[in-house]
């Protein structure tokens, strides 16, 4: 796993022992290696040398401002799916001309803000969205730069909840109506048709679905160009997977070579939008054992991280490796345990029947490959404050998102006037822990 490994029997993030970070910030906490993110970005850029390719990081994977600023300084663009993500990208220093706005349900407000921001491209996913964007652009005296996201009806062969390129999925314009949509877009005064876009899903572990989708897009691109439509951009989306357990995702070089073969002769400027592949293995979640419980049928490690901190196992039955922060000695006995959190649901199970060495209350664990789709999906369910986020680079570290306080958690709510009375003093006692 990139950036994390044992040294002197202690698990380190870059040059830092994670036990030291746990002592400083408490548990649970997220840890991201910025050096790992930067190395992966560099490897992606190198793999596409010689091709006209823009690398736009998909913020939905991990929108931490420190991650975004690191990538902005390296020249990365951004793929965003909400006004909030667009504002984050701009705040991180990613220039508007390197930002693509995707997503199936953009609102009128979001489209207006995107236009006012001067972003590079809006990926339109339906005929109604195209009509709305045309009206918004004309009302603002602007012309919207557009790529049409096409649904190629290709099975990504990934988890059904993160597959986006099949005919029954909500995303994109069906490929049989792509030419109709392109002609309409080109005729609208508020629209500047630039290209086509596709994204068939996330966590793909083989090249063939990519190839099938890209071949269909290349054929469509050529046909529309032959009609005289002004296409110059082909957005190939993201979706390249990472190893969580025993997956063997395509090598970056093989992925890039396939794109060269299929799309290299189109005369199009290409865009790719990696998210998980960029950050997934650059992060982990550190947690402490609260209790070891001997159940009637199973042994449980009850830890202080929970499904509100890591929703992927309950939501997707996802696998994440688990490592003790202290390296087990050679030949240490292993026994299966269920790793569970304190939330009042049986679904709050983060790993089942994992062979681990003997652990006790107070011991520390790292849950691996949590750099993508983890902290961004966290919640305060069971009124649990959001865990802090720490970034490391070499021997440096910083808390970049502090642990949410109980005052902040309770302060999100407002009482109506007719319930106020003594409510303010009651809330203050709750925050201060006074009975």
**Distance between CA atoms of residues 173 and 167, nearest Å:** 9
- Residues 6+ away with beta carbon under 8 Å from 34: 66, 67, 70, 282, 391, 392, 393
What is the distance in angstroms between the CA of the first residue and the CA of the last residue of the chain?
A: 47
Alpha-helical (H) ranges within 14-155 are: 18-25, 34-47, 65-74, 83-91, 108-117, 127-139
User: How deeply is 23 buried, as exposed, middle or buried, from its count of CB atoms within 10 A (0-12, 13-18, 19+)?
Assistant: exposed
Q: How many CA atoms lie within 13 A of 279 on its CB side?
A: 30
Q: Give yes or no: 344 in active site.
A: yes
Structure tokens at 14: 């870059």
Is the Cα torsion angle 91, 92, 98, 100 positive or negative in sign? Answer: negative
Q: Report d(CA 151, CA 199) in Å as an integer.
A: 8
**Residue 393 φ then ψ, to 5°:** -150, 110
Q: Where are the alpha helices (DSSP H) in 170-308?
A: 178-187, 208-226, 252-263, 276-279
How much of the chain is helix, strand and coil, in % rounded to 5? Answer: 35, 25, 40
Instruction: State the Cα–Cα distance between residues 55 and 272, nearest whole angstrom.
Output: 5
User: Which whole-number Å values give the CA distances from 178 to 165, 216, 221, in the listed order?
Assistant: 14, 11, 10
Question: Which among 56, 263, 344, 368 is annotated as catalytic?
Answer: 344
> Reduced to 3 states, what is the DSSP secondary structure of residue 244?
coil
Beta bridge partners of 6: 11
Which residues are the active-site residues? 344
């Amino acid at each position: 796993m990139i950036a994390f490994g044992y040294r002197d029997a202690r698990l380190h993030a870059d040059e830092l022992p994670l036990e030291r970070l746990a002592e400083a910030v408490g548990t649970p906490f997220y840890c991201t290696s910025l050096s790992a993110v930067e190395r992966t970005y560099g490897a992606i850029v190198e793999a596409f040398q010689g091709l006209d390719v823009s690398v736009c990081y998909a913020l939905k994977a991990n929108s931490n401002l420190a991650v975004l600023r690191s990538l902005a300084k390296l020249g990365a663009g951004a793929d965003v799916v909400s006004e909030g993500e667009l504002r984050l990208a701009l705040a991180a220093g990613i220039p508007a001309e390197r930002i693509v706005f995707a997503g199936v349900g953009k609102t009128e407000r979001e489209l207006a803000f995107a236009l006012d921001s001067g972003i590079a491209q809006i990926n339109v996913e339906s005929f109604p969205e195209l009509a709305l964007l045309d009206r918004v652009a004309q009302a603002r005296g602007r012309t919207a730069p557009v790529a049409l996201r096409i649904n190629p009806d290709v099975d990504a062969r990934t988890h059904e909840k993160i597959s986006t390129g099949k005919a029954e999925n909500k995303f994109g314009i069906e490929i049989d109506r792509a030419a109709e949509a392109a002609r309409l877009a080109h005729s609208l005064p508020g629209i500047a048709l630039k290209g086509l876009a596709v994204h068939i899903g996330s966590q793909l572990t083989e090249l063939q679905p990519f190839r099938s989708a890209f071949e269909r897009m290349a054929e469509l691109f050529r046909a529309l160009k032959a009609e005289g439509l002004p296409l110059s951009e082909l957005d190939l989306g993201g979706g390249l997977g990472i190893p969580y357990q025993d997956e063997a995702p395509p090598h970056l070089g093989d992925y890039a070579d396939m794109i060269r073969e299929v799309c290299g002769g189109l005369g199009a400027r290409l865009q790719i939008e990696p998210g998980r592949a960029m950050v997934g293995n650059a992060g982990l979640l550190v947690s402490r054992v609260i209790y070891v419980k001997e159940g009637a049928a199973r042994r449980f490690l009850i830890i202080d991280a929970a499904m509100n901190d890591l929703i992927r196992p309950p939501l997707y039955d996802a696998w994440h490796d688990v490592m003790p922060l202290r390296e087990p000695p050679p030949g240490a006995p292993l026994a299966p345990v269920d790793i569970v959190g304190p939330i009042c649901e049986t679904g709050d199970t983060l790993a089942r029947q994992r062979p681990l060495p003997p652990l006790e209350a107070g011991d520390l664990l790292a849950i691996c490959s949590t750099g993508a789709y983890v902290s961004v999906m966290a919640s305060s369910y069971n009124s649990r404050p959001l865990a802090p986020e720490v970034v490391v680079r070499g021997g440096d570290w910083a808390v970049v998102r502090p642990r949410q306080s109980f005052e902040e958690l309770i302060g999100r709510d407002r009482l109506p006037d007719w319930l106020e009375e003594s409510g303010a003093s009651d809330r203050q006692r709750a925050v201060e822990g006074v009975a």
